[in-house]
Amino acid sequence: MTTMNKFRVALAAAALTFTTATASMAQTAAPLKIGYTSVEYVLSQMPESKQIESQLKDYSTQLKNQLDAKATDFRTKGEAYQKGAAAMSDPVRADKEKELQNLQQSIQEFQQNAEASLQQKQQALLKPALDKLQKNIDAVAEENGFTYILNSDGASPVLLHGPKEGDVSDLILKKMGITPGAATAPKVTTPAAPAPSAVPAASTTKTKTKTKK
Q: What is the DSSP string of 170-200?
A: HHHHHHTT--TT---PPPP-PPPPP-PSP--
Say if 22 falls within a structural domain.
no
Say if 76 falls within a structural domain.
yes
Integer-rounded Cα radius of gyration of the chain? 32
- pLDDT score at 156: 65
C-alpha to C-alpha distance for 136 and 143, rounded to whole angstroms: 10
Domain that holds residue 110: 35-193
Q: pLDDT 10s digit of each residue in the chain, 213 long? A: 554 444 344 434 444 444 444 444 444 556 889 999 999 999 999 999 999 999 999 999 999 999 999 999 999 999 999 999 889 999 999 999 999 999 999 999 999 999 999 999 999 999 999 999 999 999 999 999 999 999 988 766 777 677 888 999 999 999 999 998 865 555 656 555 566 554 444 444 443 434 444
55-91 burial: b if 16+ Cβ within 10 Å, else e: ebeebbeebbeebeebbeebbebbeebeeebeebeee
Say if 108 falls within a structural domain.
yes
> What is the count of structural domains for the chain?
1
Long-range contacts of residues 129-134, Cβ cutoff 8 Å, at least 24 apart: 129/43, 129/46, 129/48, 129/49, 129/52, 130/43, 132/46, 132/48, 132/176, 133/39, 133/42, 133/43, 133/46, 133/172
Say if 187 falls within a structural domain.
yes
User: Helices 202-209 & 90-144, crossing angle to 10 degrees?
Assistant: 160
For 174, other C-beta atoms within 10 Å of its C-beta total 14
C-alpha to C-alpha distance for 12 and 18, rounded to whole angstroms: 10
Q: CA 132, 146, 182 angle in degrees (round to 5)? A: 50
Say if 169 falls within a structural domain.
yes
- pLDDT score at 108: 94
Say if 207 falls within a structural domain.
no
Say if 45 falls within a structural domain.
yes
Q: Taking a C-beta distance cutoff of 8 angstroms, is the pair 42, 173 a contact?
A: yes
Say if 1 falls within a structural domain.
no
